[in-house]
Structure 1
Amino acid sequence: MSTQTILPVEVDTLKNTSANNGEPAWLTESRTKALQLAGELELPKLEKMKLDRWDLGHFGNVREGRSEVSQQVPDSVKSLVNMTEASNLIVQRNGDIVFSQLSSDLASKGVIFTDLETAAREHGDLVKQYLHTAVKADENQLTALHAALWNGGVFLYVPKNVEVEIPLQSIFLLDDTKTTFAPHIVIVAEANSAVTYVDNYISGDYSDKIVHNGVAEVFVKAGAKVRFATVHNFNVNTTDLIYRRSVVDNDGSIEWIVGEMNAGDSVSETLSILQGNGSLSDAKVIAVGSGAQKLNYTTKAVHFGKSSESQMITRAVMREQATAIINGITKIEKGATKANGEQTEKVLMLSPKARGDANPILLIDEDDVKAGHAASVGQVNPEQIYYLMSRGITREQAERLVIYGFLAPVVSDIPLEQLQEQLQGLVERKLGQ
């Protein structure tokens, strides 16, 4: 049975807007087909949480036209970047580009780092080859709406044998709830290349509700290495919905480093499809919930390749009345011999009213494999607190140290100092310390 959906825009309006914005015909067609799908598909079904009870009607209006690039970084994001080394940086505000720069050295090597809308016009064949192929429009109502309405976003392409030593950074600022905010990230790392990509989602102070419906698609070719670090920090009036997905070929590797620091309700899926032999996925996720937040985070690895490996670590801290559903899924398909999948989910509750649910799931269709999981939900260990207090540390300081140690496996791996400091500050603020 289909869900009755009131679409945020008419098909003809979307079609005309896309054409007026100078988008190629194939993209206009892609958008209109996706919008029609959105009227037919249902919302995704989440573990122990019903999205149809959420207020998901605030997608904003489709943007008409594009603002000129000012090359002025907004003051609200300057603390997140080193302006003396801002040569590999994209800053977007409400889907519009305000700053975009790639070093001449990387450009001369064939690296492409630009907003996705520009890439669709200037590198159409390349973008068309990958767009909506890891996260398909016809999966559910949210992916269809995203494929129809996305704006802004990033296209990063690294040619064969090129190793990018400096992290490439994007910042997405949301401070206008009138316009649709749905960035789409596409990263393509060709054979034996290497790159680190870091992005940061932040919001201003607004009282109107808005839904962020985002997607990140990462394609890791044979022998390539991609590190993807991201921090989401939207305010309480923003519902954050995000699909992150990578497809990894032979001997390729993807490393996910995710900080879920939103103040509003959030759903995320971080999935690695290990289709190549010897492929590798390493995912680290932390989340801090407060207030009456509802959080649903899924980390998943699907093994197709022989001798493929996946490691997943999720740490969540819940306070006040926050509720978190933490899912870890390892799926080993038939034929993926010698695969190895390990996962750990831990939830630390700081309030008797907080709720946490850790769900480790192993789905094994092959005999000659290794797989394991560990999960725990509980409060701060009093023995650890007493031990620290016996060394002259106050209870408050002791609890803080235990919590930071609990989250350290992810925070310490953030590849940019400014972002690491920001994440540490967000943890302190959300914990009320």
Structure 2
Amino acid sequence: MSSTQLSTPTDRQSAEALARAKGEPEWLVALRGEAAELAATLGWPKPEKMNIEKWNLTAVGSYEKANAVTSASELPSVVRELVTNDTDNVLVQQNSGAVYSKLSAELSAKGVIFTDLETACREHGDLVQKYLFKALKKDEDKLTALHAALWNGGVFLYVPRNVEVEVPLQAILSTTNADASFAPHIVIVAESNSRVTYVDNVVSEGAAGESYVHHAGIEIFVGPGALVRFGSIHQLSEGGIDLTLRRAVVENDGRIEWVISDLNDGATMSDTSSLLKGNGSTSDAKVISIGKNSQQMSITTRAVHIGLSSESDMITRAVMKDSATAIINGITKIEKGATKANGQQTERVLMLSPKARGDANPILLIDEDDVKAGHAASVGQVNQEQVYYLMSRGISKQDAERLIIYGFLTPVVTEIPIDAVREQLERVLERKLEG
């Protein structure tokens, strides 16, 4: 496999040279060049109470040209668990590029576009340009600038107005080589009154112990009256640093539903944000994470209310084992003029060890009077009275604790929209909680 070495942070010249070598359109070459220049001047993001600059953030790897496969049976085993030759409406990225994709003729005939973002930039440039880096700005900080300069592969999903996609679309984003850059960018556009469900799995194989960075950007545009359900399960190995930024912009009466499962074994910064721009726009976010060993996790969920009568609900549940640390931030911001807005949030952290640390930070920023906002946060150990009650019914202590943990996570797990993905999530939970 040929690879193009990149210095980190990259400079304008190397970013543009790589883009041209890949045959990217001139507007994208320019965007990457500007972003690379910005990356040199900006600082890293500063999530609450977590200094991510101590992490090995520069292990972004080198671009490696992907080799497409024609059959799902040629994919790595970690991907084959999730995709068979019968799986329709699926896209697979391996390391720096897409290697496999399949869209049903029926959806294609309705005008649905589901392809990797690099292909979309070439084949649907005018459409992509309207949205790319419009929700996630390339000049937010060093991470967004670096990502805009270096992203690869990715997903572009476009659903025309009034089209309801009944079946879920699925992407598997995988890394099998710690030296290859792995930086998918995902753009989902749901035009007015459309409906779509998208789920992705971020997985690793064979990179154990090695240090690598997965930096991902997700931008979702929910048109008037549209519904987007976005599910994601991240399970990267211990050496992986997962930096994932998700942004949705929701128009009048549109709705975004997030189901996020941060189940990595390495350092994680996960930031999910809904901009409720339209009147009557709504956001529902459910997030779970499990930390073990000496893992560090920063999990932020945010809703910014601009539209009248906009509503947001966020539920985050984290389980911390060993000496893992989690900083869980819920941020509800109601801007001046967003009358009748309603923002609710709950953060709960369950600690399974005296050395584990979990912080739940509910943050309400309210600039308008005629609104509702509420929060609940709790951090605690497994309730021993519940354990004793179950043991009195003949259940072992270990099984009793496991039942309580599953009960604690159930509100999120049951929301996963694809049966196979939900079953897979349950297996991953089992592995993380057993291990």
Which TM class, normalised by the smaller chain length? over 0.9
Structure 1 position 410 matched with structure 2 position 412: yes
Find the aligned partners of 1:306 and 1:183 in 2 and give their Cα distance. 34
Which one is further off, 377-386 or 220-229?
A: 377-386
Q: What's the counterpart of residue 119 of structure 2?
A: 118
Amino acid across the alignment from 1:224: A
Alignment of 1:110-149 (within 5 A): 110-149=111-150
Alignment of structure 1 residues 206-225 onto 2, 5 Å: 206=207, 207-225=209-227
Q: How far apart in 1 are the matches of 2:26 and 2:323?
A: 48
1:299 aligns with 2:314: no
Match of 1:67, as an amino acid? N
Q: Cα offset for 1:57?
A: 1.6
Match of 1:272? 274
Runs of 5+ unmatched residues, structure 1? 1-5
CA distance in 1, matches of 2:337, 2:11: 46
Give the C-alpha shift of residue 70 in structure 1.
Answer: 3.1
What is the DSSP-based 3-state SS (H/G/I as helix, E as strand, rest coil) of the residue aligned with 1:39?
helix
User: Is the deviation greater in 25-34 or in 51-60?
Assistant: 51-60
- Identity value in percent: 58
What is the distance in 1 between the residues matched to 2:82 and 2:287? 20
Aligned residue type for 1:179: A
Q: Which runs of 4+ in 1 moved over 6 A?
A: none
Q: CA deviation at 1:432?
A: 1.7
Q: Alpha carbons of 1:221 and 1:281: their partners in 2 closer, same or farther (altered >3 Å)?
A: same
Q: Which residue in 2 is equivalent to 1:101?
A: 102
TM-score normalised by length of structure 1: 0.96
Helix, strand or coil at the partner of 1:107: helix
- State the match for 1:60 in structure 2: 61
Counterpart selection for 1:401 from 382, 400, 403: 403
**Higher deviation after alignment, 412-421 or 191-200:** 412-421
Q: 1:8: Cα distance to partner?
A: 4.1
2:162 alignment partner, SS class: coil
1:3 corresponds to which residue? Answer: none
Q: Is the 8 A contact 1:21 1:66 kept in 2?
A: no
Matched to 1:129, the amino acid is: K
Which whole-Å CA distance do the structure 1 matches of 2:53 and 2:92 have between them?
Answer: 33
CA contact (8 A) 1:223 1:250 kept: yes
1:370-421 alpha-carbon deviations (Å, 9 max, x no partner): 0000000000011111111122211111100000000001111111122111
Query: Superposition pairs for residues 7-406 of structure 1, below 5 Å?
Result: 7-63=8-64, 65-73=65-73, 74=75, 75-81=77-83, 83-84=85-86, 86-206=87-207, 207-406=209-408
* 1:335-386 CA-partner distances (Å, limit 9, x unpaired): 1111000000000000000000000011111111000000000000111111
Match of 2:3 in 1: none
RMSD: 1.2
**Aligned-pair CA distance for 1:82:** 5.4
Distance 1:405 1:51 in 2: 32
Q: Does 191-200 or 49-58 show the bigger shift? A: 49-58
Distance in 2 between the 1:375 and 1:113 partners? 39
Query: Could you tell me how far 1:83 is from its partner in structure 2?
Result: 4.1
1:423 CA drift (Å): 1.1
Shift of residue 181 of structure 1? 0.6
The answer to whether the 8 A contact 2:61-2:212 is kept is yes
1:53-75 Cα distance to aligned partner (Å, 9 max, x none): 22212010134x55344343523
Which residue identity does 1:72 align to in structure 2? A
| Distance in 2 separating the partners of 1:418 and 1:410 | 15
Tell me the SS of whatever aligns to 2:370. Answer: coil
TM-score of the pair, normalised by structure 2: 0.96
